[in-house]
Chains A and B, each alone.
Chain A
């Protein structure tokens, strides 16, 4: 234990022997987090995304969908003609258009066969957000409709309607009531400034805070490989193995030291997220702790495995930065993963950063708790186990 502590202290002194490390440890991560969050949107301007809506149905139902969209905090529907919408879309002046077809009725909406038409520019974040908002609006209208339908059939069982007209009136009344009730339902996640439908999974501040945290912590943990290479080059690792110190002690000390430093770094960044960015990192401290530790272990394991293969510390350094950057980008730490083509979205599941990012977003964006992050934490621990095994198995001291 004393030896492990001695190794940790030695590594900490070495790491923080220059000012530049502080830059990478906390200063740059904070600056990046702040800048990529886009600062704060200015006061009154409508920050919602403009969405062109073509209403070809022109029914009460389609009007409800439009008003549901208008109530969304994510999009600002603008009803236009089809020709106008298509022109704007083809000139790329609109990121997406939403067409409500003529045949849309309650039945098709209920059965999920309603063929609404949504067109989006490729790889456009705003379009993805609009799509989510539309899905939410449709779902809300549809659930209101189903509530009204239930009300009608229950009433019919108790006391049959005198006429179809009476039945229709009762339906409209129930629908109105259902919508009023829905309005009062508290909404779960906040986005940008106001309440938002729970389907929109993007908030620049939350994504920036989580993404930058992962980026700036994974890179130095991959840097464990550099530490191994450095100690091989200076001969200190050889010397260590002529003292009564076991290989396992060295590995445990070196890795746990870097993991501890990573956890301190993450806590500082989480603190910045809570205090300055007003993000809800602290909702479930236990779940957050699990995510932080599992992420750090996965990254440290990859660093250890890399350490067995790199030749020089320069090579290790370059590789750590490159891999860290690529994994952060591909894992959705810089841009939401929803922007990637579907095939890539599947592919990036092989990256630990993807799982770390999703777990962090579960906590800070989707309001999840321990249960929600268990799958991600489990996958990250799996990464850790596999790569630690490789790292220990292929460990070299020269």
Chain B
């Protein structure tokens, strides 16, 4: 497959601060490519440059044959953008929003009207199209936000953390929409800090941290880098002290690392099965009750931890 996007050494400085430090990657026509990284990694800055909103400080990118620096207007015809923060007119109805943005993409008349019907169908808001966006739930607004980016059937769709801050049901709907769009032939650049989303959606993943692309490849290629490690997740009751448990577990042989998030202790180990008995015994000894446990094979979270020494969400 040929590349629809080639990024060459893209740099963005805000004053003295370098938010994106010379990243390069390419996206092939028809794939879903995820940029996975924690808050402040430089995902939005990268997308802003690729969508011709910011001038890169250095480097360039070529989208469908057009340089983002030299031919921004040609690039804008090819791309659709779903910004991280909602960018809608709340006083307008969903349909009025779609009409306005459709016209900004140069559409109009009957073709636009029927395209709006299709998009409303796709985002599941046909019934509510005549209500003002300000009356919508967060999830519905997110879906309109996505719909706007689809109107002109872009070859390449940028989606910047489209599932942030919404309920699981809406999230599911959005992930399914992304897959459906991709199945229809749309290439997608998807950014997220949810490892699961990157894993579920993408053909290839780029991991970005502090403005640098620290890993790039398919999920298999990336997890292989980590070596043969498992993640063992221990879910404990709310009344228990996870810090105490993780501290105790760190001393056990075979435990490479133990980390806490909410009421879960995650342990990185070469083999979860081998240490399981010892872990449970240790918890009993401390009087901490384990409610349930999960074993995860190597995943992107582990890759990130391996590369940076930090959890993806901190």
Contact = CB atoms under 8 A, between A and B. Distances in A.
A308 to B, nearest CB: 18
Contacts of A2: 103, 108
A interface secondary structure, majority: helix
B225 interface: no
B148 interface: yes
Nearest to B132: A17
Interface of B: 48, 51-53, 73, 76-77, 79, 81, 83, 85-92, 96, 99-101, 103-106, 108, 132, 148
7 contacts: A9-B100, A10-B89, A10-B92, A234-B87, A236-B89, A238-B87, A242-B52
A238 B53 contact: yes
A115 interface: no
A10 B100 contact: yes
Contacts of A246: 73
Interface residues of A, number: 22
A360 B298 CA distance: 78
A2 B105 CA distance: 11
A2 B99 CA distance: 12
Contact of A239 (B99, B132, B148): B148
Nearest to B78: A244
A244 B79 CA distance: 10
Contacts of A9: 100
Contacts of B79: 242
Contacts of A10: 89, 92, 96, 100
B52 A234 contact: no
Interface of A: 2-3, 6-7, 9-10, 13-14, 17, 234-236, 238-246, 397
A236 B104 CA distance: 12
Contacts of B81: 239, 242
Contacts of B86: 234-235
Contact of A244 (B105, B108, B148): B105
Nearest to A18: B91
Given A6-B99, A239-B81, A244-B105, 7 more contacts: A234-B90, A236-B87, A241-B52, A242-B52, A243-B101, A244-B73, A244-B77
A236 B96 contact: no
Nearest to A17: B91
A258 to B, nearest CB: 16
A193 to B, nearest CB: 48
Most buried by A among B48, B53, B99: B53
A16 to B, nearest CB: 10
Nearest to A235: B87
Contacts of B53: 238, 241-242, 397
A9 to B, nearest CB: 8
A181 to B, nearest CB: 66
B88 A245 contact: no
Contact of A14 (B52, B76, B87, B91): B91
A242 B51 contact: yes
B15 to A, nearest CB: 15
A6 B87 contact: no
Q: Across chains A and B, which 5 residue pairs bring their CB atoms closest together, nearest first?
A: A235-B87, A239-B87, A6-B103, A243-B104, A242-B51
B96 A243 contact: no
A23 B152 CA distance: 39
A377 B11 CA distance: 50
B103 A3 contact: yes
B130 to A, nearest CB: 13
B65 to A, nearest CB: 16
B50 to A, nearest CB: 10
A241 B90 CA distance: 19
B215 to A, nearest CB: 28
Contacts of A3: 103-104, 106
Contacts of A245: 104
A236 B87 CA distance: 5
B143 to A, nearest CB: 16
Given A239-B81, A242-B76, A13 B87 contact: no
Contacts of B104: 3, 6, 240, 243-245
Nearest to B81: A242
B145 to A, nearest CB: 9
A10 B81 CA distance: 20
Nearest to B151: A243
B83 A238 contact: yes
Nearest to A14: B91
B76 A244 contact: yes
A228 to B, nearest CB: 14
Nearest to A246: B73
Contacts of A242: 51-53, 76, 79, 81, 83
Nearest to A250: B104
A243 B105 contact: yes
Contacts of B76: 242-244
Contacts of A234: 86-90
Contacts of B108: 2
A151 to B, nearest CB: 75
A151 B239 CA distance: 116
A350 B51 CA distance: 43
Contacts of A235: 83, 85-87
A68 to B, nearest CB: 62
A197 to B, nearest CB: 53
Contacts of A14: 89, 91-92
Contacts of B89: 10, 14, 234, 236
B289 to A, nearest CB: 47
Contacts of A243: 76, 101, 104-105
A13 B83 contact: no
B142 to A, nearest CB: 13
A201 B79 CA distance: 62
A175 to B, nearest CB: 72
